[in-house]
Amino acid sequence: MPSNPERTATTKTALLAAATNLLRSRGIAALTLQGVAQHAGISKGALTHHYPSKEALLSDLLEHHLNAFNATLQATQAPFAVAYVRHGTHDGSRGLALGLIAALVLNPDVLEIARSYATRWQEATPSTDALVARLATDGLWLADVLDLPSAPPELHAQLLTRLEELAGGSE
């Protein structure tokens, strides 16, 4: 039988997966504690044992996904800014990012988590060129999330190559 900390971790993982799936499939309006509990197949009381409020759930959800992105960056053999360009231009979250953005608007305190990661990433960006590449990458990602026009398909690969060159460059 798993220990209490193992059960807690397993339950939290299931709750974060349920919250992620709700955000992806139905948006921020569907992200209620009752909805997450139902989607995870547990009682609302069990959920509130781990997440006493929607804000606590959103905070952990954002932290979870930013940690995953950060781990991807750290696992890459490339310099930090190059890894950021390679992995940060496409919203592979299938709607999760849009839900998290909406959650940040509705719960500004949760934004501090994103700011904390952004500050660390800023400190890991060594030059003006690398900063330009990182910020352009953020713009491409946001365009993808919001389904805005960005680089035409025939130029997209060239744009990413140029951003990688900037990211790896020095002043």
| Contact assessment for residue 102 and residue 61, using Cβ atoms and an 8 Å cutoff | no
Residues 6+ apart with CB under 8 A from 68: none
pLDDT score recorded for residue 122: 92
pLDDT score recorded for residue 129: 94
What end-to-end distance do the CA atoms of the chain give, in Å?
57
Instruction: Please report, as a single letter, which amino acid is at residue 85.
Output: V
How far is residue 102's CA from residue 106's CA, in Å, rounded to a whole number? 6
Tens-binned pLDDT, residue by residue, of the chain (171 aa): 556 888 888 889 999 999 988 888 888 888 899 999 999 999 999 999 999 998 899 888 888 888 888 888 889 889 999 999 988 876 666 666 777 787 777 778 888 888 899 999 999 998 999 999 999 999 998 888 888 888 888 898 999 999 999 998 654
Domain boundaries along the sequence of the chain: 1-52, 59-171
SS (H, E, C) the chain: CCCHHHHHHHHHHHHHHHHHHHHHHHCHHHCCHHHHHHHHCCCHHHHHHHCCCHHHHHHHHHHHHHHHHHHHHHHCCCCHHHHHHHHHCCCCCCCHHHHHHHHHHHCHHHHHHHHHHHHHHHHCCCCHHHHHHHHHHHHHHHHHHCCCCCCCHHHHHHHHHHHHHHHHCCC
How far is residue 54's CA from residue 107's CA, in Å, rounded to a whole number? 9
pLDDT score recorded for residue 5: 83
| Contact assessment for residue 81 and residue 167, using Cβ atoms and an 8 Å cutoff | yes
Q: What is the CATH number of domain 1-52?
A: 1.10.10.60
pLDDT score recorded for residue 1: 53
